[in-house]
Structure 1
Amino acid sequence: MVVDDDVRVFLETIERPVRRRDAETLLDLMSRVTGEPARMAYRGIIGFGTYHYHYESGRQGDAAAAAFAPRGPSTTIYLPDGVAAHSDALERLGPHTTGVGCLYVKDLAKIDLDVLEQVVAASYATVTAGTFGRRARDGGSSSG
């Protein structure tokens, strides 16, 4: 697993033991699933790989194809293709909450990591296929 120095420095700042443990678990899981090195994508967000988006509005850019952030109340796992695309799998995940493109987990030890790996892998495959162009809130993928 390749982890840049900025990620290691950031991990050392995580005070809550569960968040730090979960961050290490997600580093391994996302590195394995994506084959990409971990890097600081944004402030407090660890990302893996990138994808290009181009919305109907004309806005476009690049974003992390898989990412997570160890936050205070829970760890946020970003699903750029939206949580709705994974609703069946998420029913089997275990305790979690969701936003439009975010999965919130308080303790990875209480969820099914195999299901989480499937969800991350499916999301990553969708956004890196070269055809993803919608926002998570718009649901699904489309040519862009």
Structure 2
Amino acid sequence: MTAPETLIGDVPGVGRPAARALAVQGLTTLAQLDGRDWAELAQLHGVGPAAGRRLQARLEEHGAGMLNPPAPEKREDRVTKGATGKVAKDIKTAATDVDPAEYVAGLDARRSREGARLLEIFGEATGERPTMWGASMIGYGEVHYRYATGREGDTFQIGFSPRKAELALYGIQGFPRSDELLERLGKNRRGAGCVWVRKLEDIDEDVLAELVAHCWENGPAPEGERG
């Protein structure tokens, strides 16, 4: 395959300054960039790495490319406080109007007692009102996440789910004192997205309250306030 005769200025995301600077060097089409050394082109005023990445991506679609191309943009998972409404179409879990207290009251006797106690612990630690998310998760606060892949959505900041087999505790990992407090918490096992507890009596409720408060206070900042 060969690079097309597409004009550099017609490549989406490549600004006029970059197109003009390359044109001065006699480079006006993608085909003319094939085999050129990006390290040299990057020295031109107005030609930045963002334009270079977009041009290289288009060249690679045709089996071509520049030498020493700019490094791919490093993207990281990002979580910010507050919902945005931007949610991938296939994500179905969302906040509902179901009353968390009524939901908990309808569970079996033990889970109902544990759920009611967790409502107290999480409510006191966060100072927030609970919201049902999906069929069985109870969350406090809202955050927006965007993964490095570009996938994004809204969810709760911290919460729990009184499931039949185990209690799931969300949003309590990855903070400065999470590991220390989880070690003191009692019997638990850590999953990728939550911490599992078989029954409430297996853990120290005071430590749980301290853990929830710590993670809530150290949670994500609003968009624009992150360092």
TM-score by length of 1: 0.76
User: 1:78 touches 1:103 (CA, 8 Å); kept in 2?
Assistant: yes
Q: Deviations over 1:108-127 (max 9, x none)?
A: 22311121112212222333
| Bigger mean CA deviation after superposition, 70-79 or 80-89 | 80-89
| Count of equivalent residues | 129
For the pair shown, which has the larger CA radius of gyration, 1 or 2?
2
The answer to whether structure 1 residue 11 and structure 2 residue 104 are counterparts is yes
The sequence identity of aligned pairs, in percent, is 34
1:91 aligned counterpart, secondary structure: helix
From 184, 206, 216, give the equivalent of 1:114: 206
User: Partner of 1:39 in structure 2?
Assistant: 131
Q: Please give the alpha-carbon distance, in whole angstroms, between the structure 2 residues aligned to 1:111 and 1:66.
A: 18
Letter aligned with residue 13 of structure 1? G
- In structure 2, list runs of 5 or more residues that go unmatched: 1-96
Q: Contact between 1:31 and 1:37, CA under 8 Å: does it hold in 2?
A: yes
* Unpaired stretches in structure 1, ≥5 consecutive residues: 132-142
| 1:102 corresponding residue in structure 2 | 194
The answer to which of 22-31 and 74-83 deviates more is 74-83
Using the alignment, how far apart are the partners of 2:99 and 2:197 within structure 1? 24
Change (3 A) 1:108 1:26: same
C-alpha displacement of 1:80: 6.2
Partner of 1:114: helix, strand, or coil?
helix
Q: Which runs of 4+ in 1 moved over 3 A?
A: 80-85
Deviation at 1:5, TM superposition (A): 5.4
| TM-score normalised according to structure 2 size | 0.50
Return the alpha-carbon distance in structure 1 between the equivalents of residues 113 and 214 of structure 2.
24
Cα deviation per residue 1:95-144 (whole Å; 9 max; x = unaligned)?
1112122111122223111211122122223334237xxxxxxxxxxx59
Task: Report if the CA contact (8 A) 2:160-2:170 is conserved.
Answer: yes
> What's the RMSD between the two structures over aligned residues?
2.5
CA contact (8 A) 2:98 2:132 kept: no
Q: 1:135 matched to which residue of 2?
A: none
